[in-house]
Each structure stands twice: as C-alpha cells, then as structure tokens.
C-alpha cells in the first residue's frame, strides 16, 4: 500500500462508517458519520450545524458570507447503499484499502470520495489563502439513496439559510479516465410496486391448476404488457411529454469517448445491445425514458420442484423519465395501464413509491462555461458535455425551491461498481476532485 496522505486519511475515516440509510439497524452509524463530518467541517474553520429530520440528519456548513460575492451551494450525500452480496467483495466494504491505484470501499465513489474531494479542496484553499473567493454553503444529507424524503421539506423551511446563485454536485459520471465531464441533465424517476392476488392461499397445482388463474403467470403477462417487442414502452400517453433530442446534442454525443455502443457492450458484458430503435446507447440512457423491472417474485424459489399454485405475485417497477415528463402523471398513467391489463381471475394492488423530476440545463450558460473552465484546469484536457442516465431527485428541487441551476461535475467511472460489490475510486480522481473544487470556486468568483 503506498503512503497514505492526510487527505486520504480523512477519506478513509469517512468511509469506515457503515452509513447505510435504508437499513434501520445502521441508523446509529449514519448518525456517527454525520457527527464526524460536523466535527471535520467545524475544525476547518467553517460554521457547521447538524439538523435533525424524521430520519437521518442533514449537515450544513458555511464560511463567512460577504455581500457582493457569488453564493455557491455544494451538495453531497454521506449515506451509502447496502453491501450485499458480501461474499463477492474482495476486501471488507468498510475497511478501505488502496490497490492498483484505486480506493476500494462502499461509498468510495458514490458519494463519499467525490464529496470529500470538495471538503478537502475547501480546506486546502482556506489553508493556502485564509479565505474562499465565494460565499460557500455545504449541504450534505444522509438519505439520497432512499429518495431524499426529508430534503425538499428542509429546503422549503430553510430557504433563507440555503439561498444561493448556483449549486455544484459531484455525484455523477465521468465518461473515461482523464476526460473531464460536465453533466447538464439527469433522468427523473418514478417507482411503484404491484401485487397480484388469486386464491386465498397457496394451492396444490394438480388439484386446482387449470381451474383458477395463477398469479405468477399473471405477473409475467402484466410485465410483458409494458413494452412492445421492439422495446418501446406501451403505457398510453407515456411519450406525450418527452422532449425530442436536439440535433446539436446528438452530434456532440457521437464524439464523446467511452460511450460508444461497443463501450456499452464491454462494460455490461451483455451478449448484444437492446433498446428503442433509432437511438445510440448513450441517447437511449441519457435522453429517452424507460420502464424497468427491479424485482419480481412468486412461488417456490428453493432447490428442486414444488407443485404449488402460488396465492400471489409481486413486481417492483421503476420508470426513468426525461424532460418534460412528470413523475406523478406517469405513475397515474402506469396505474391505469396495469389495471386495464390485469389478467382475468386476479386482483391488483398498486402501491406508488418515491419519485423525482428529470433535469436539464444549458451547459453553455455563464455558469456552465465557468464549470467547463474549472474542469479544464483540474484535468488539463477539454471537457465533454453529457446528460446522465441516473437520477438525483433533489437537483430539480434546487431549481424549483431555491431558484438555482446545478453544475454536475462527475468523477464516477463506468467501472466504479457503484451500488455493487467492489466499489472503487481512483486515487487520481480523488486528487483531481480536490483541484477541481479549488478551480471551480475560483472560476465561479469571476
């Protein structure tokens, strides 16, 4: 293991907290992580505060705000996704190590590594210059991975505290190592769960099969009804609000390295690509909406066979959305589609889940240009401009509730294994992130 710098020591301390937000057994670790962060920020000379919510705390920190300077809000999340399946990790998820130039741990990229780069960039500037060139507000939450249920209400209640001219977030992708990437869009999301019920209990499939409907067959038919054979979503009105891709975007994206159809094949290991015809993989994931099955279940799952006719079946669905689709409107259309297509002999229960709006901004606005210059300084290369397939639901809420656009300065590589075993973050991206923060505040001050 190469010598560990003070910056890496800080990141390692941060990564050692098992701050898994979805699992109530880890609530104490989430809180300890927030308290560690609070202490770190106060120790740097910022004024930091911890704010309780119905679940996990929010941490806010500011420098001295001065009239006439631009106010920059930097958002990040200190919570992480669960680690299972644990047996597929090469090293323990909450004992960070450096191997092959990368930091290996849950949260290394998403989002602790990217977030800490901003914190340490600010610390470095304060140490070198005694002051920052802008009014800075850090906003860190512990609930991003569960859909940020308490953050929008916090924005509404604290709009004065969080008032800003622009938001910066490093929680998105970088198309290839060394290629600085400015994101100017995110897909939205709408989640739901469906249960199909048939007989009052599990039945012998010989005694009753053929006489009553099977919920497992029903859920398969229902799921199959969501797409046509070419992969287009068949929910009535699903595409009504979809904004068409701009010709300049298609032209620009065709030249972006690391996101060709061949790259998608290599990264995913899929036998072939599949999706809406007439679009590249980058276009399909960045600018087109989808319907995905995230989980499905019914009947016997154990070894061998069991002749059962199960009483019920479930499916967990999520829809990725693009401007100008509205999550609530889409969920209503989906509910109607599912009820209309519920197979005979079964009853359907529809449960809406969390959602977030899609986001898109102009990458060549004055602020976008400043971000591009900062990326160029930090990486010594020309930045590429992309939209993202993933979602950060609070980003559109920043625009709606604080009136500020967000600059997405992503450092996550496509093989970072975020949400999966063996999550990792290159040490060079961590160091570039620190430089990026310094350059960004410099450029945004202009």
Q: Is 141 in the site for ligand BES (CB under 6 A)?
A: no
165 vs 326, beta carbon nearer ligand BES: 326
227 vs 354, beta carbon nearer Zn ion: 354
Q: Is 343 in the site for ligand BES (CB under 6 A)?
A: no
- Binding to ligand BES (CB under 6 A) within 159-178 occurs at 171-173
Give min distance, CB of 171 to ligand BES, in A.
4
8 A C-beta contact, residue 235 and residue 291: yes
Q: Is 141 in the site for Zn ion (CB under 5 A)?
A: no
- Binding to ligand BES (CB under 6 A) within 29-58 occurs at none
- Binding to ligand BES (CB under 6 A) within 96-115 occurs at 110-111
- Binding to Zn ion (CB under 5 A) within 72-131 occurs at 110
Give min distance, CB of 50 to ligand BES, in A.
21
412 binds, among Zn ion, ligand BES, none (CB under 5 to 8 A by kind): ligand BES
Q: Is 388 in the site for Zn ion (CB under 5 A)?
A: no
19 vs 125, beta carbon nearer ligand BES: 19
| Structure tokens given for 219 | 């859920």
346 vs 418, beta carbon nearer Zn ion: 418
Q: Is 144 in the site for ligand BES (CB under 6 A)?
A: yes
- Binding to ligand BES (CB under 6 A) within 390-419 occurs at 390-393, 412
Residues contacting residue 244 through CB under 8 Å, at least 6 positions apart = none
Total residues contacting ligand BES by CB under 6 A comes to 16
383 binds, among ligand BES, Zn ion, none (CB under 5 to 8 A by kind): none
110 vs 312, beta carbon nearer Zn ion: 110
390 binds, among ligand BES, Zn ion, none (CB under 5 to 8 A by kind): ligand BES
Residue nearest to ligand BES (CB): 390
Q: Is 147 in the site for ligand BES (CB under 6 A)?
A: yes
Give min distance, CB of 406 to ligand BES, in A.
12
Contact segment (CB under 6 A) with ligand BES among 45-53, 140-148, 332-340, 365-373 equals: 140-148
Total residues contacting Zn ion by CB under 5 A comes to 1
Applying CB under 6 A, which residues contact ligand BES?
110-111, 144-145, 147, 171-173, 189, 356, 388, 390-393, 412
């Amino acid at each position: 293991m190469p010598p560990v710098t003070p910056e890496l020591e800080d990141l390692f301390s941060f990564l050692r907290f098992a701050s898994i937000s979805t699992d109530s057994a880890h609530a104490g670790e989430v809180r300890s992580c927030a308290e560690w962060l609070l202490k770190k920020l106060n120790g740097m000379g910022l004024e930091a505060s911890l704010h309780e919510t119905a679940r996990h705390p929010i941490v806010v920190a500011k420098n001295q705000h001065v009239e006439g300077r631009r106010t920059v809000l930097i958002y990040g999340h200190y919570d992480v996704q669960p680690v299972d399946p644990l047996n597929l990790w090469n090293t323990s998820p909450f004992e960070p190590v450096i191997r092959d130039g990368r930091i290996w741990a849950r949260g290394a990229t998403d989002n602790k590594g990217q977030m800490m780069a901003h914190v340490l960039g600010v610390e470095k500037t304060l140490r070198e210059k005694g002051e920052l060139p802008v009014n800075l507000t850090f906003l860190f939450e512990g609930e991003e991975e569960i859909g940020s249920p308490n953050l929008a209400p916090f924005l509404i209640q604290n709009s004065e505290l969080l008032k800003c001219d622009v938001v910066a977030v490093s929680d998105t992708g970088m198309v290839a190592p060394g290629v600085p990437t400015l994101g100017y869009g995110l897909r939205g999301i709408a989640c739901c769960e469906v249960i199909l019920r048939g007989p009052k209990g599990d039945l012998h499939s010989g005694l009753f099969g053929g006489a009553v409907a099977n919920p497992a067959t029903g859920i398969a038919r229902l799921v199959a009804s969501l797409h046509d054979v070419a992969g287009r979503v068949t929910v009535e009105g699903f595409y009504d609000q979809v904004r068409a891709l701009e010709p300049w975007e298609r032209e620009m994206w065709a030249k972006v390295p690391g996101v060709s159809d061949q790259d998608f094949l290599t990264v995913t290991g899929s036998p072939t690509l599949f999706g809406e015809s007439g679009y590249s993989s980058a276009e399909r994931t960045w600018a087109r909406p989808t319907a995905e099955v995230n989980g499905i279940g019914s009947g016997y799952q154990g070894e061998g066979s069991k002749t059962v006719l199960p009483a019920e079946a479930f499916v967990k669905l999520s829809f990725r959305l693009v401007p100008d689709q509205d999550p609530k409107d889409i969920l209503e259309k989906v509910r109607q589609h599912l009820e209309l297509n519920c197979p005979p002999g079964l009853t359907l229960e529809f449960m809406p889940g969390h959602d977030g709006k899609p986001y898109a901004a102009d990458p060549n606005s004055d602020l976008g240009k400043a971000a591009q210059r900062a990326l160029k300084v930090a990486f010594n290369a020309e930045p590429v401009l992309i939209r993202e397939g993933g979602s950060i639901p609070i980003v559109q809420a920043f625009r709606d509730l604080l009136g500020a656009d967000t600059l997405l300065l992503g450092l996550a590589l496509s093989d970072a294994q975020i949400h999966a075993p063996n999550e990792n973050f290159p040490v060079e991206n961590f160091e570039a992130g620190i430089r990026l923060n310094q350059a960004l505040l410099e450029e945004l001050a202009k």
